Structure 1
């Protein structure tokens, strides 16, 4: 027996005023047999999640037969059409969003090239619940609905990123070693201001230190210890010029080195002069960041 058609949509009560990311509306529908849209284009991103049923999604270059657990993202200006199955029509939820940062965010989530369609391999997806919560907060008509909808949108895109990155691993677009090294670089780039150690990073990433040191050296040419120290020295050089009111001890602490004497020795090792000499010499050059 074919379910009775239904349709509900809730719009964001907060007007889009050039926000970097903005959810326009969210909705749900039990479509009727052969329910069709397009061919047409949209001027916003429109993501659908199929809860039940079957149907066909078409772009200018591809045709996808999609069923339960599938998700497809329509990009602005993309010519598309989609139609529900005769016997088992789609029940789906959707969310529309726009904004200056939307393109970069969906690309970061993995929606690039032909990766605008995927089928979840998880037993349960949080996407339909997140879209449902969006509808609920929009119905309240509160100003806070805008912020809440962004939170739910990020949760949706985070789950999509998990699936799309998993699919990328299966196709071998990036090796596990390369991804792990990127994670190490990200960890050090965000944690260098704290007195973290390589051991702590290894524990955080869940790998043996010897293994991480070996793959990192192979990919970057530097050991993790040297890379982290160089990162800290590079940042300290910037602070020496831009913050003349800070003492050498304060700068050392600001880049995660608690021993000012050790900092001075390592700075001299990398820059062939002491921190004080560097500040005085470079800061007095024409165009220098500071004049002491």
Structure 2
């Protein structure tokens, strides 16, 4: 059964690791009632609605979206979005990643609890998205295409930030404050994964009871704090296994003092020992 009336996708052949780089971009019109999620993504994703209607759910809140609205999906945040049954939306999207993305979005007021931008100028946005997709299609020099696509992405973010900073008002209320605290917890785990962390310590830092923090965290990400920390550590271990550090050094770098215990945890994550995982990387 077809899920879209039409669908197009362009993929970046040469994204740069660590840089703000486009991964892929597309445009589509799903059938009425089509939905994605609840799920988490490994990258950032912007959707801009061109016509029709749908809903975007994140951090326990539901946002009705229509033509001119944009919604931003953050990595490891549980989201769901669904087309209206009677008037399904058409939207365009761009996925991207990079070490500076989170700080760049925060600087223009776009955060997990403020992830919807209203009243986007659709003609100019459509021109920029077309140019972005074109930069990744049929080029003989993928590295140049990546640079051009990254430039168009920055212009799109500029426009979203200009609208957001102009119209955004300070969100108040206990629910919003709670989820801003969860955002802080996510950042803490993502940055301090190499330390000996405890949920009790994190909860105390944020002023929550452990059970309350765990409930809110799981509602936001679909994982408990310890499950999230495990995921962060294992992904970082995969990156480090691409280099020349010893298994013991990698274990210590991701918060495990015992290399044997780290090996067991990594096998639980990937189905391979760290040595086997590294060997497969070399062969590939």
Native 8 Å contact 2:73 2:112 kept in 1 = no
Structure 2 Cα separation of the partners of residues 79 and 37 of structure 1: 11
Instruction: Report how far residue 129 of structure 1 moved.
Output: 2.0
Native 8 Å contact 1:9 1:26 kept in 2 = yes
Count of residue pairs brought into register by the alignment: 167
TM-aligned CA distance change 1:38 to 1:172, over 3 Å: closer
Q: Which residue of 2 aligns with 1:151?
A: 151
Question: C-alpha deviations, 1:36-65, integer Å up to 9, x for none?
Answer: 111100010000000000001111321011
TM-aligned CA distance change 1:100 to 1:14, over 3 Å: same
Instruction: Report how far residue 113 of structure 1 moved.
Output: 4.9
Structure 1 Cα separation of the partners of residues 5 and 112 of structure 2: 34
What is the root-mean-square deviation of aligned Cα atoms in Å?
2.0
Q: Which residue of 2 aligns with 1:89?
A: 88
Instruction: Report how far residue 146 of structure 1 moved.
Output: 0.5
Structure 1 Cα separation of the partners of residues 14 and 161 of structure 2: 27
Structure 2 counterpart SS, 1:115: coil
Question: C-alpha deviations, 1:134-157, integer Å up to 9, x for none?
Answer: 111111233211011111111111
| TM-score in terms of structure 2 length | 0.55
Question: C-alpha deviations, 1:160-210, integer Å up to 9, x for none?
Answer: 111111113x5599xxxxxxxxxxxxxxxxxxxxxxxxxxxxxxxxxxxxx
Q: Does 1:56 align with 2:74?
A: no
TM-aligned CA distance change 1:41 to 1:140, over 3 Å: same
Structure 2 counterpart SS, 1:43: coil
Native 8 Å contact 1:126 1:156 kept in 2 = no
Q: Which residue of 2 aligns with 1:137?
A: 135
Native 8 Å contact 1:115 1:164 kept in 2 = no
Instruction: Report how far residue 5 of structure 1 moved.
Output: 0.4
Structure 2 Cα separation of the partners of residues 65 and 19 of structure 1: 33
Matches within 5 A, 1:188-267: none
Native 8 Å contact 1:49 1:128 kept in 2 = no
Structure 2 Cα separation of the partners of residues 113 and 50 of structure 1: 19
Matches within 5 A, 1:1-292: 5-16=5-16, 18-120=17-119, 122=121, 124-141=122-139, 142-143=141-142, 144-168=144-168
**Where do 4+ consecutive residues of structure 1 move more than 4 Å?**
170-173
Structure 2 Cα separation of the partners of residues 172 and 70 of structure 1: 18
Structure 1 Cα separation of the partners of residues 101 and 120 of structure 2: 25
- Runs of at least 5 residues in structure 2 that lack an aligned partner in the other structure: 173-284
Structure 2 Cα separation of the partners of residues 75 and 119 of structure 1: 18
Instruction: Report how far residue 96 of structure 1 moved.
Output: 0.4
Structure 2 Cα separation of the partners of residues 29 and 19 of structure 1: 29
Higher relative contact order (CA 8 A, sep 6+): 2
Larger Rg: 1
Structure 2 counterpart SS, 1:126: helix
TM-aligned CA distance change 1:42 to 1:164, over 3 Å: same
Question: C-alpha deviations, 1:79-106, integer Å up to 9, x for none?
Answer: 0011101111110000000011111111
- Runs of at least 5 residues in structure 1 that lack an aligned partner in the other structure: 174-292
